[in-house]
Amino acid sequence: MDLPALDWQFLYGRLSWSIVLATTVALLLPPALRQSRRVVLGLLAMACLVMALPNEASPAYWLVLAFQWPSGVLLGLCLLTLSRAWPGAGDVTPMPAGLAAVIAITGTALYLDAIGLLSLGMYYWGFGPFAAPLVALAAIAGCALAAVLGRARPHALVAVGALALFSVLRLPTGNPWDALLDPLLWGWAVGSLGIRGVLWIARKVRGTQPRIAPAAAAGTERFQ
């Protein structure tokens, strides 16, 4: 078992939580401000200053106690979200349905295993000295191939970055599961799927409603 250096872990924690905080605030802003490079850079600068405060004065201190460190995938998706403020970045969906489903299912299996309902030892397998790094390298190769072929390229590159960070510096915890998953990322995926499900049901319900006659429909326009 090879754990990351404490200095690198401390630096990663401060920087990663700064990016997550800046992304969260940016998503609460109106679209016009969210797509402004100056606003995004300002948010990042302020978040870094706040997270750099010493010891208990830094929100990162309490966030690490509650959630440990953001996974490399969460960090990458946050950067992907913020990058939409730059020209030519495109309007890429940070959490597509397929990725959300994989994260939700895998995270649920890990959490059920952690509390003993599955008893597979999935998380502890990630601390293996040989198998875990080899699987991480194989996953990097697969994601890199997907990126070259143009299949979900931004998200494949995010996974490559997260796994490379783990392979080189063992961040954030020395376990590949923590490089790919964390509670906030799992909650984001589950919430995204839940919202999609509600919207899908709403469309189905709307589609089964009887059509309104043109004369009656004209009278309802003022209420829409």
Instruction: Return the axis-axis angle of helices 183-208 and 72-82, rounded to nearest 10°.
Output: 60
Question: Radius of gyration (Cα) for the chain, nearest Å?
Answer: 21
Which residues, in sequence order, are CB contacts of 53 under 8 Å at separation 6+?
Answer: 59
8 A C-beta contact, residue 95 and residue 192:
yes
Q: How confident is the model at residue 2 (pLDDT cuts 50, 70, 90)?
A: confident
Distance of CA 50 to the CA centre of its chain: 21
Confidence at residue 1, expressed as pLDDT on a 0 to 100 scale:
62
Q: pLDDT by residue (tens digit) across 150-180?
A: 777 899 999 999 999 998 899 999 999 999 9
- For the record, the structure tokens of 166 come out as 């783990």
Statement: residue 118 has pLDDT above 90: no
**Residue 62, token pair as written in the block:** 């309490």
Mean pLDDT of all residues in 9-20 = 96
Q: What is the per-residue pLDDT for 217?
A: 45
Span 36-59, average pLDDT: 95
pLDDT over 60 at 210, yes or no: no
Q: How far apart are CA 87 and CA 17, in angstroms?
A: 25
**Is the pLDDT score of 49 beyond 50?**
yes
Give the mean model confidence (pLDDT) for residues 52-59. 94
Residue-wise pLDDT for 98-109, tens only, equals 999 999 999 999
Sign of the alpha-carbon torsion through 208, 213, 216, 220 = positive
| Average pLDDT, integer, range 53-75 | 94
Residue 51: what pLDDT? 96
Q: Which residue has the higher pLDDT, 91 or 107?
A: 107
When mean pLDDT is compared over 16-20, 145-149, 197-201, the highest value belongs to 16-20
